[in-house]
Structure 1
């Protein structure tokens, strides 16, 4: 078992750390990491107590995490997203209870949410990026279901080790597919960054994993020693998968008394990470208008996060190139100029005259206060310190008269206007980007 368990545990733990480290704020990556962590802990539990109830439950849990990742990938509107997310969470808790309560093959009920999620993904396939994602995830789901069914119905523990390893291969491929989908949606490169992280993981597996497997074989039956080896593997795999965040954490501890040096090093490391994940510049010239709209919407949502903006293909806009002329060309410098371009585009939406909350102002208000200033009107206790009078009035207006769903819809429509302006300035073929008519939105404007 250690010969299978050690690489399966190390690679799944590393990949979980890697995908969550790419963008901790994305739910698809969170659910994928949770699925991989559940499997890794299940491998450790199966090694320590083969065919135990805890091990079987843990090896079923990746199906629920995988289902959550699929639901997070669904291309839904804000109005559709909320009930789907709530329903998925409630069903996930119910199926978790069922997985724990049911014996043996009854735990295959964990596959039900995954099947439902994949059916929804197939129905929305024309809007999914990349287009082959539903088919690839479905194939891996069938292989995972077959392996899990054989594992839960088999009484032969010797065969169980091979099945556990086969399930791990399926889940690692799924983690890679989700990372590909995230990179495609964000307009980022995946392979250079993934190769660098995988090289670190393989190094850790050779230096730590081989001695750990040998130690477990020599001390056969000693659960305490085996558990300690898995802890060491988890630490080594986490360091390989979370290289950037771990490096910055070490700097905060070691250089806590030198903020200037720490800031300079942080900027250099973030520039280096962004270079691995930025698309080639020539790609922007051949980008389609729908994808340009999607990237603009994402850049507006990420306005306050300079690190995410540094990886956006929009940093290669001609207007950004002109603003950088004669200055240092670094990813974060491009991100600052892209932020300035977006701010100017939002300011161009402001109607003449004093601040108002009429229909003419809704697109400016929703981008200026919710994206540019990063205000969230819907928190229970919004902070008013340091806010201008206009910002306080806007926050109060959003809270009183604009629902969350309408706010999100307005952000999408306003992003279309900004994208159309940038598209035209870039020299793209002008076509009107369809926006939802204002009279379709039912809300009270004060």
Structure 2
């Protein structure tokens, strides 16, 4: 496995894992933060299972990890749709109509997608290793809805003094949809990994945008608190992760068990 690409993926996993939990820890009952946090955590799980699948020592383990990874990869944009809904102004008629159904509805839909995607070939054909027509249709439908919702957020809150976070939400939503579409293309190797990695960068931008918008709505400032949380998590991850890195160096190769240990160590430290 390419050392530079692996390092970038581990860093992306760690930052997504941290920001996801950070958003959930900051008044998680606020629906926009809840869904944004879940979106980032699902991406982190998708990235971790993708890394582990590429190093799987057996066909059975590879099949198991693929059945975890493929449906989970479809969930971040679903939860992001929920985030965008609750970023709409409270007086928006679409928000008033959908908000009561959003939390239980999106969670139930996510569970269904995971079970259907992991236990059947409904969304992904595990024999031919190709996405199905329903998989493409899902991305087309949810991606289009996310783009429409992000535009409505931009229009509905354009009078507020939060132009930069709104622009981040709009632009990053476009690129998340584009990145996920590229992931569905029948490519493998480095390109597939880069496409997955690009989604993480966009989701991180989205997460920061949501944190800023929510802090503005509450009359708070988020920069210092976020920087403090990130600094503490980074220090802990480095202290423990470098120990696993030293073990990998002494062994002379990155085995599946050591990769699992590295990911678990970073996740636990954060």
Q: Which TM-score applies when normalising by structure 2?
A: 0.75
Change in 2 beyond 3 A, CA 1:53/1:153: farther
Q: 2:45 aligns with which of 41, 48, 67?
A: 41
Number of residue-to-residue matches in the alignment = 236
1:71 aligns with 2:85: yes
Shift of 1:154: 3.9
Distance 1:52 1:211 in 2: 29
| Higher Rg | 1
Shift of 1:160: 2.3
Q: Distance in 1 between matches of 2:107 and 2:96?
A: 15
Indicate how the Cα distance of structure 1 residues 129 and 28 shifts in structure 2: closer, same or farther if over 3 A, else same.
farther
Q: Find 1:28's aligned residue among 23, 32, 39.
A: 32
**More helix by proportion, 1 or 2?**
2
Confirm or deny that 1:182 pairs with 2:214.
yes
**Distance 1:210-1:43 versus aligned 2 partners, 3 A rule:** farther
Deviation at 1:170, TM superposition (A): 0.9
Contact 1:6/1:212 (8 A) holds in 2: no
Q: Is the partner of 1:77 in helix, strand or coil?
A: coil
Q: Once superposed, what is the RMSD of the aligned Cα atoms?
A: 2.9
Q: Which residue of 1 aligns with 2:170?
A: 138
Structure 1 gaps of 5+ residues are 238-446
Paired residues for 1:75-94 under 5 Å? 75-77=89-91, 81-89=95-103, 90=105, 93-94=108-109
Whether contact under 8 Å (1:71, 1:85) holds in the other structure is: yes
- State the match for 1:8 in structure 2: 12
Using the TM superposition, give the Cα deviation of residue 232 of structure 1 relative to its aligned residue in structure 2, in angstroms: 1.7
Question: Is structure 2 residue 222 aligned with structure 1 residue 205?
Answer: no
Match of 1:108 in 2: 139
Q: Does 1:163 align with 2:195?
A: yes
Question: In the superposition, relative to structure 1, how do residues 79 and 60 fare at CA in structure 2: closer, same or farther (>3 Å)?
Answer: closer
Q: Would the aligned equivalents of 2:31 and 2:86 in 1 still touch at CA under 8 Å?
A: yes
Contact 1:9 1:43 in 2 (8 A): yes
**Separation (CA, whole Å) in 2 of partners of 1:228 and 1:174:** 29
Counterpart contact for 1:11–1:201, Cα < 8 Å: no
Whether contact under 8 Å (2:79, 2:106) holds in the other structure is no
Deviations 1:406-436 (A, max 9, x none): xxxxxxxxxxxxxxxxxxxxxxxxxxxxxxx
Query: 2:127 maps to which residue?
Result: none
- Which SS does the other structure have where 1:188 is aligned? coil
Taking structure 1 as the reference length, the TM-score comes to 0.47
Question: Structure 1 76/112 Cα, relative in aligned 2: closer, same or farther at 3 Å?
Answer: same
Q: d(CA) in 2 for partners of 1:3 and 1:56?
A: 22
Partner of 1:281: none
Following superposition, the deviation at residue 214 of structure 1 comes to: 5.9
Q: Give CA deviations for 1:284-318 in whole Å, capped at 9, x if unaligned.
A: xxxxxxxxxxxxxxxxxxxxxxxxxxxxxxxxxxx
Distance 2:177 2:240 in 1: 31
Q: Which has the higher contact order (CA 8 A, sep 6+)?
A: 2
2:269 paired residue number: 236
* SS in structure 1 at match of 2:38: helix
Structure 2 residues not aligned, in runs of 5+: 55-64, 125-130
